[in-house]
């Protein structure tokens, strides 16, 4: 796992940041760079799909460190006899 050795608090912080970035990215409002008087931070462009995968990976790592199982994908049962 790529998150081996990273503290739980750090993973939770990164998850919150990634989730906060998802909506603006999906609306096309992604920022490429932020600068202040002394520093300039440049971000590598990403896609909604790759950010969603990153969020899923973080959630799985957090679940493992928290003593839970890996999150599973849900599914819906629809239609058919007896359902």
Q: DSSP letters of 4-15?
A: TT--HHHHHHHH
Question: What does pTM read for this prediction?
Answer: 0.64
Q: E strands of the chain, at which residues?
A: 33-35, 40-42
pLDDT of residue 7: 92
Whether the per-residue pLDDT at 22 is higher than 80: the answer is yes
| Average pLDDT in the chain | 77
Which of the two residues, 2 and 74, has the higher pLDDT score?
Answer: 2
- Give the pLDDT confidence of 23-32 residue by residue, as tens digits: 888 888 776 6
Whether the per-residue pLDDT at 78 is higher than 90: the answer is no
pLDDT of residue 58: 92
């Amino acid at each position: 796992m790529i998150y081996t050795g990273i503290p739980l608090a750090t993973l939770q912080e990164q998850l919150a940041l990634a989730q906060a970035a998802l909506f603006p990215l999906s609306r096309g409002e992604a920022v490429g760079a932020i600068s202040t008087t002394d520093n300039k931070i440049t971000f590598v462009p990403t896609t909604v799909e790759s950010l969603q995968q990153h969020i899923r990976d973080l959630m799985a790592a957090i679940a493992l460190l928290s003593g839970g199982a890996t999150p599973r994908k849900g599914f819906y049962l629809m239609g058919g006899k007896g359902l």
